[in-house]
Amino acid sequence: MLSALLLGAALAPAPAVAAPADEAAIRVAALQDDVAWDFAEGLTTEVGPRPAGTPQEARARDWAVARLTALGFKNVRAEPYTMPVWVRGRDQANILAPFPQALVVAALGNSGSTGESGIEGEVAYFSSLAALEAAPEDQVRGKIAFVDHGMKATQDGSSYGYFGAARRQGPSVASKKGAIAILIRSIGTDNHRVPHTGVQMWAEGARPIPAGALTVPDAEQLVRVLHRGQPVKLHLVLTSRMLKDQPSGNVIAEIPGTDPAAGIIVAACHLDSWDQGTGAIDDATGCGIVAAAALQAAKAGQPRRTIRVLMAGAEEVGGDGARAYFKAHGSERHALAMESDFGADRVWRVDFKLPEGHGMLSDRIGQALAPLGVGASTQQAGGGADIAPLVKAGVPVIDLQQDGTRYFDIHHTPDDTLDKVDPLQLRQNVAAWAVTLHLAANAEESLADN
């Protein structure tokens, strides 16, 4: 269905002029785009995994500066800052009794360390975060808490908020009740033996304890073992260390506009990734999409507004890149912020949060997106982590919502690799972004009255 749609559009007659000057021409050109694929292929191949604040992220930064310069962007530079960095060591879990066997586990970001020799403890079962929160302390104290909450996929990804709470808050809740460690069922929708890592932050007063995610099949295995009714003892090794003040940095690249007073349009993504995979869908493709779309939009001529690509150096571990960007640029006039950080599957819906009186602009964007199979919604756009401080400050936002049905099969796992990217859907993203950036960058409306 989608392939037919994209193929049909790609085979449409070529525009009469060489430089596409309208949305139809931009769509046609963008549906044949190679820049986004080449960017994601290059970053994942030549850099690979790139956790924020590590030498790998520094290589990603240098790589992106070189690539964006070669692509013809202006004012390309890295903007450095420092941040604390959590570094994974060894991840191991073994059932000692009653049925000795190994389980596949990965530590969560900011996990405490068990030390090299690991820890032993009895498993206390909780069906959900709510069950852990409701449990009396004596059911948790001295135990390895296990939260078994099975995530379900949704097209809009909204289930991440609900199920993801077990990862974000579970470790702090378990720590405060005296658990010696916590294991969660991976916040993922696959049935593969790949653990989904991700960040969690210790709440005020919560002592760091070892915190890990079992793969979905391993969590199900542990549940079957528990259901046999005997106490279950585990040996857990999750080693890690924390480093202070490590170098990270955002990469900025611009297509300068003709009218500086009209404000800047930020098109954001993040360069860092988790350590387990090569960060193809999270978020090499997002960076490929925004860079490619900015170039496609610029083919129609120099835009009125500057399009500024922001490749954040640190998103996965707590938004250090977004905060550094806002500190450096928050006082500049921003007309619009957008972000691509939900994989590379097709855009299916557009959400707006524009100032009063901008209905005509959202109508024009909706009409330009309709031929790509994108529907306009009445839900308010909210942006993402890389632009969160801008959104909080009142900068208008447009969200091009991507199909998230299979995103959480792959997200934060060793399986986040280039082969998961569908080149045709990636191009549809570029086309949706390109027409949106083109219309917003050239809009006569004021936008930047925040």
Interacting residues with Zn ion (CB under 5 A): 282-283, 341
CB of 313 to Zn ion, least distance (A): 13
φ, ψ (nearest 5 deg) of residue 247? -75, 130
CB of 109 to Zn ion, least distance (A): 13
Closer to Zn ion by CB, 121 or 249: give it.
Answer: 249
Closer to Zn ion by CB, 282 or 351: give it.
Answer: 282
Closer to Zn ion by CB, 210 or 343: give it.
Answer: 343
φ, ψ (nearest 5 deg) of residue 209? -125, 160
CB of 177 to Zn ion, least distance (A): 31
Give one word for 369, left, alpha or beta, with left for phi > 0 and alpha for psi -120 to 50.
Answer: alpha
DSSP assignment string, 231-273: --EEEEEEEEEEEEEEEEEEEEEEE--S-GGG-EEEEEEE---
Crossing angle for the helix pair 35-46 and 285-298, to the nearest 10 degrees: 150
Closer to Zn ion by CB, 146 or 407: give it.
Answer: 407
Q: What is the three-class DSSP state of 382? A: coil
Closer to Zn ion by CB, 303 or 313: give it.
Answer: 313
Amino acid occupying residue 332: E
Closer to Zn ion by CB, 310 or 361: give it.
Answer: 310
CB of 157 to Zn ion, least distance (A): 11
State how far the Cα of 105 lies from the Cα of 215, in Å rounded to an integer: 6
CB of 384 to Zn ion, least distance (A): 8
CB of 317 to Zn ion, least distance (A): 11
Closer to Zn ion by CB, 171 or 343: give it.
Answer: 343
Closer to Zn ion by CB, 283 or 422: give it.
Answer: 283
State how far the Cα of 205 lies from the Cα of 176, in Å rounded to an integer: 8
CB of 286 to Zn ion, least distance (A): 7
CB 440 within 8 A of CB 306: no
State how far the Cα of 394 lies from the Cα of 21, in Å rounded to an integer: 31
Running DSSP on this structure, what letter comes out for residue 276?
S
CB 212 within 8 A of CB 93: yes
On the 0-12 / 13-18 / 19+ scale of CB atoms within 10 A, 276 is: buried
Q: Alpha helices of 155-254 — where are they, by DSSP H?
A: 159-163, 165-168, 170-176, 216-227
CB of 43 to Zn ion, least distance (A): 13
